[in-house]
Structure 1
Amino acid sequence: MTGHAPATRPLRVLLAGFSGLGTQDHQTDMYLPAFSAHPGFEVAAVAGDEPQARSAAERLGVPLVADVATAVGDVDADVVSVCVRPEERAETAVRALENGRHVLVDKPAATGVPEAAAIAAAASAAGRVCLPAHHQRFAPGVRAARAAVGGGRVGLPWNIQTDFLVGAGDPVPEGELVNFAVYPVDIVLAVTGQPVHRVHALTAGAPGPSGAERTAVLMLDHAHGVTSTIVVGRGADGIAAPGTVFHRHRISGSAGVLVVDAAGPVLTVRGAAGARALPFDSGSVPALLDELHGAITEGRPADPDIKDALAVARVVAAARTSLRTGLPVDIAAQPQPGSTPAAPTPTA
């Protein structure tokens, strides 16, 4: 990677957009406070036509540019935090990368596989960091689980069972599969290191107000015979307070079972020698920004990078096809970033 920023000064950040799926505003709720608290970054400007953009600019005492496209090209910034409307994210991220900016892009990074591939191609061509905001990968329990599996604590992993269920809150019109599946799919791919070849998805429970699914079950076949099952979605109003209710992983391997309660948090390895707890600390969003800063200043790829978001987009697209057809979906061989991806193919 070329053109990495020096570590002698804070990296200048442009906050671009204050929108998301449904009523989400992760820029205000997550990234603005995290960037403001991180010693390696300083917010240089705000862009967007939302009321939150004006409020943030006034509160921070920085310039406001109403047009995001203009700001991405003109503002002196090292990093663009992209939280524009989902249908505008690919275009905005590509424009930022082509203008030499590094990018943090909110989830989902793109509305489909071609859009995610376009961002990946732009990041590769520009030699810039493009970090998808898969911050749950940085949850302390998940980080400890990755280290434990990578260190052979459970032997060769062969199955993961995952629950990512959120309590009350505003259902998104697009469905909770698009909203939440990014996190557990990314975690499963990171822990196993094995790409997904086949997806079968089923809905569970009553639909949300828009008619889209609130809860879904994904059954994934990975390379080398590894399998995973993911339950993802939003519970009915009143069952629990807002926030993550269940974020759990049960990782079975040839030498034991790793049980992770990332919301607890508890992480336990059970094997022939008995059960033992593994320590961990730190939070997910600050750790996400640590990774962004380290990748930029050290001139290395981020973990995750936009290619990981592309892999997740393929799985989510296949799951949506499976929900529509009722059939498992084989994911075609992954094309190179920037090429036209093949559509997921339903199989009987």
Structure 2
Amino acid sequence: MKVLDVLLVGEFGLGHQNHQRDMYAPAFESHPGFRVTGRVEADDPLDRADVVSVCVPYERRVEVVTRALRAGKHVLVDKPMALTSDECAQIAEVAAGTGLVCLPAHHQRFQPAVRVAREAIAAGRVGLPWNVQADFLVAGGGEVWPLGELLNFAPYATDAIHAMTGLPVTAVYATGGARFQDGPEDLVTLCLTHERGMTSTVVAGRTPATPGSGGLSLHRYRVAGSHGTLLADANRPAARVLSTAGAPRGTWAGPSTVDRMLTELHAAVVGGRPAELGPADAVAALRVVESARRALASGQVEEVLS
């Protein structure tokens, strides 16, 4: 396997998050296709690398990602790629011009259950999908993300639905708010209309910790089609470990979603092909979030702008 050199750029994270330190760095270091060559900050030179992993503050995100692309580097970008769809679109334009891989870290679409569901839908095993019900709930896990769980968690589920069905969202109705903790919204419900008349409902957010659970407590999709129904539970197969050391933790019998995402990144770079996940997916996810925010404020169905 060809080994690609990786430069880790920044360790920015809002609230308790540090995805570079806790997720990407360990995954790159353990993956046989990558070698971490250094850790730098946003203003440092982006050399000694084939790939850069970007976790810089949002006000520097477009600048640093586009600079890396123009320097000939493939890029992994922490999720959300940027705070607005317009900023994501700026990155998408530069990435398209360079032909390099620019992969937003929507790693939950690489869950094995999501992949199996995608293949089953593509094979026509449920006929034409007409509705998807999705749950993405984290039990406990600290304070609510400072910018709200609509932006933090909901894009994982909407991106997975898009990956499974290939049908973009055209309109959004949303409810939710600060239900369990003070601060920004911690729980949202999105009622989505997709192209070709498909609908979906996404419940996403953070709930109070409950006995015997911790971390990602629900991650599942129920796909209803013209000729069948599919239930994809992304928390299986897994073993739940209980101990006196802390909250229960789920242990997967196989590569993590981040490991699988890096495998796709490696295959795209080495194969000289587009990755299955790119800036356009980040644009789509942020447009849904922006429409949902308008819907929360207006109490009306809001179209997804293109």
Q: Larger radius of gyration, structure 1 or 2?
A: 1
- Return the letter of the residue paired with 1:194: L
1:62 is matched with which residue? none
Q: 1:285 aligns with which of 258, 276, 279?
A: 258
Q: After superposition, where does 1:57-96 map in structure 2 within 5 Å?
A: 68-72=42-46, 75-96=47-68
Which residue does 1:31 correspond to in 2?
Answer: 24
In the alignment, is the contact (CA less than 8 A) between 2:180 and 2:208 conserved in 1? no
Give the match's secondary structure for 1:43.
strand
The within-5 A match list for 1:9-24 is 10-24=3-17
- TM-superposed CA distance for 1:23, in Å, is 1.7
- 4+ runs of 1 displaced by more than 3 Å? 237-242
Distance 1:240 1:234 in 2: 16
Report what 1:108 is aligned to: 80
Q: Aligned letter for 1:319?
A: A
Deviation by residue 1:270-296 (Cα, 9 ceiling, x = unmatched): xxxxxxxxxx96431111000000000
Structure 1 residue 43: Cα displacement: 0.4
Name the residue aligned to 2:188: 216
Greater Cα offset, 87-96 or 193-202:
87-96
Q: Is the 8 A contact 2:115 2:164 kept in 1?
A: no
Q: Residue in 1 aligned with 2:277?
A: 304
Q: Does structure 2 conserve the Cα–Cα contact (< 8 Å) formed by 1:15 and 1:47?
A: yes
- Give yes or no for the alignment of 1:47 onto 2:40: yes
Q: Secondary structure at the match of 1:244?
A: strand
SS, match of residue 147 in structure 1: helix
Contact 1:96 1:103 in 2 (8 A): yes
**Which of 129, 132, 135 is equivalent to 1:163?**
135
- Shift of residue 70 of structure 1? 2.3
Distance 2:50 2:17 in 1: 25
Between the aligned partners of 2:211 and 2:98, the Cα distance in structure 1 is 47
CA RMSD of aligned residues (A): 1.7
For residues 1-348 of structure 1, the aligned pairs below 5 Å read 8=2, 10-48=3-41, 68-72=42-46, 75-170=47-142, 171-203=144-176, 206=179, 208-210=181-183, 212-238=184-210, 241-265=213-237, 282-332=255-305, 334=306
CA offsets 1:294-325 (integer angstroms, 9 cap, x no match): 00011111111111111111111111111122
Instruction: Report how many aligned residue pairs link the two structures.
Output: 291
Structure 1's unaligned 5+ residue stretches are 1-6, 49-67, 267-279, 335-348
